[in-house]
Structure 1
Amino acid sequence: MLGFCFRNPFHKKVIDSKEGGEKKAGERSYPFWWTIDGFSILANRGSNTYYSRSFTACGFNWKLRLELVLEKDAEKYVGLYLSNDDAASKGSEIKAIYKLFIYDQLHGEHIQKEGEDYFHSKSLEGFCFKVAVNKFDSSKSGLCVNDRCVIGAHVLQAFAFKSADKEGIHESWSLNKDLTPRIYTWAFKDVSKSNVVLKSEAFAAGGYNWYISLYPNLATCKDFLGVFLIMHNATSLASNTSVNVEFSLCLLDLDNAKHWKRTGNRKTLFSSGSFGSGWGQFLSWKEVQDPSRGFLHNDICIVQASVVILGVNTIA
């Protein structure tokens, strides 16, 4: 039996019933929890879409949409979206800053994605938080315990304004207030022996996941070391959305501290159709192998990435 329950598993107040727009300074907003009993039944049904009941947060009505998606790689994913109906009925555009999350019941923590979106008559759903179904089956994850899964959303801020009715293409650029760079360092092993692209583990920065890819003197980067920053699962971005990123990639010199660093253009945009940026000729392979430089130790290269999300561009 598949059951849907809309209560907080900690039995706290879960819905902000305030009437109005953006929450006032110091006013608390509450997350919405959606508990699903019999999650395995849902996961085995194939590609289907499910909606939670409506809940109120920051003065607007929302729903969670859960979708089972089979990707081209034959991997099945759970896609979680925030949906809004007020924008269509009131002829307004609503900007919301919010989190989508799945609760890890074993470790008492969430895996989550935070961002912002504009909801209007042509786009009633926000970004997608996508997690592979096989992660729910893992005994170590705690995402599904006793066939029960707990997902949710927390609308942190939301306000409405009248949309422009003029014909044409409308682009909105939402700037990020937090410009603290996320620094990530990864050691690539067996670099000179490799004849394939090397990839770091994924890391989070600005609400998105990233990884570093290394091209060690491959045919596509002959006689050079190529280094790129890649947005992980960029295909989950809406086709009209791009992320404005400032980043740098640095090859560490462990002997002389004369690191080799290159910085990308502040106008660099990552999207579902353009998910990587970097340099195919980052540094000559000869310099990488130079024993007087400390770039290659025991066939290990250490690369450091600095990532700042400047904002999000949306075209409607």
Structure 2
Amino acid sequence: MESHDAQTVDGRSKPGQGHGSKVAPSSPAGEQTIFKWSIDGFSSLIDKGAGWTYSRVFEAMGHNWCLKLNPRDKKSGDDKEYVSLRLELANSSVKPDTDVNASFKLLIYDQSFGKHSEHEVSHSFQTASTSSGIPCMISLRKLKKQPSTFLRNNGCVFGVEFLKVTTSKANTTSETLFVQKASIFNEAKTYTWDIEDFFALKNPGYSPEFEVGGYKWNIIMYPSRDGNHLSLYLKLKKTNDLPMDTANLVELTLYVKDQENGKHRKGTGRCQFAKNTRTWGWTKFISLEDFKDSGNGYLVKTKCCVIAEVAIVGSSKME
């Protein structure tokens, strides 16, 4: 999802709200919690190219986490492509300046012989939305090489095994993510939000609602908490007909339109929307200085334009 330095995915809580939890003592020796993430239709995810895809936010050991996967990652100075897996601590789980020290294993499962690709990590999550350090990686060529023990029936299984973290009852939660093949039924729809007077917007400012895939959506825009950036989010307005244990995988691109030169500022990602995760976006989408600079064409007098491209490209189910 990295398209510019200002991006930070932290839409797991409602804009303008911070949620925290106290740090509990370390878990007793031997207590483990495992989260497995099965992705069906993995070749369709590979076809979508490089970029991070996020699992559902799940609770383990007293905190909220998610896995994120890049099916076509690259190492610096290496032309080979890798499947890369990281763990991320959700920003709704900790207060600013709080350390959450965790030891865990990232796993890419060998589904035939149990010779998993794994990477053990000890990491201090110091601020909201921080990711684990070195990812667990396997070359894309090795994963796809037939007969493949990692890719079976076009499905892969990834996971994290917690070894030591804040105290929590040990349990296992799993999610299956199904990625749809590209078709006319899941093509992206575009919504344009023309803002006549940016300075008259409420904080936060909501676009008129629009429909994609049978659901109602809004774009949300407001100055970030640091007062130096513009925050931009996509919000699922209602989830009445979305069961608690399911989510929709959404491919989204948000633009701030350059009205003069056509050099739009954009952020792109594949994120899951559910009853407990209705908002995704970027806290630091663009600096207010750049946004208000007339030479950049984002704000012309008082007018600006925000564009959302949204497509529902998959679904998931918790088990």
Q: Same fold (TM over 0.5)?
A: no
Q: Could you say which structure has the larger radius of gyration?
A: 1
More relative contact order in 1 or in 2 (CA 8 Å, sep 6+)?
A: 2
TM-score, reference length from structure 2: 0.42
TM-score, reference length from structure 1: 0.43
